[in-house]
Amino acid sequence: KNRLTDVRNAIKVFDPHHPTLDVIGFSSDQWIEINQKAAKSAHRSTQFLDHPHAIAQTALDLFYSDQWSDLAAGLAVATGRRIGEVLQTASFELVSQFSVLFFGAAKRRNESIPLQFEIPTLVPAPLVLDAISRLRSLLDTQGLTNRQINDKYESIVARSCDRHFRNLIPTRDGKHHLYTHLMR
């Protein structure tokens, strides 16, 4: 499913109306079958947020922390990005007051055409850009792989997420801790 989507997106870069797009793809019935299987394997209960503004405000407050882990936790919540992206691989460009163009997805390596897309931010986007810059000046991850970044820093940021968002974001069924991936 993902490789087919990747091929179609690569073709669209050259010509959004290329005739091969009519034959490279799944039928509607095939897409329905694929998505039904995915829905069964990813069955989770929906948990509603009672205080979304408090979540955004807490993330914003963490932008001004002297602790790099709190700043990283605030950015993970405000952008929904993985810790490796926040600490190193991601680049962000301002699009609007509450959105940025995102490059550098951790799970998309070695692509000839780098993935980029607009993402919303829970707090004003210019503040996100400033916080990213500040975080990277506090913590040098140059030369580290994503795996090394995760091994070294992920649990520290996860503890910060637990500490600051425990009363605002419910844990998933069967889980006892918040985790930066939950912020996505």
Beta bridge partners of 92: 102
Give the percent of the chain with pLDDT over 90.
47
Query: What pLDDT digit, counting tens, does each position of 131-176 carry?
Result: 999 999 999 899 998 889 989 999 999 999 999 998 998 877 767 7
Return d(Cα 174, Cα 153) in angstroms, integer: 24
pLDDT the model gives residue 55: 95
Number of other CB atoms surrounding residue 6 within 10 Å = 14
- Residue 183's pLDDT band, with cuts at 50, 70 and 90, is low
Query: What pLDDT digit, counting tens, does each position of 99-134 carry?
Result: 999 987 776 666 667 778 899 999 999 999 999 999
- Is the torsion defined by CA of 7, 8, 9, 15 positive or negative? positive
Element (H, E) at 56: helix 52-62
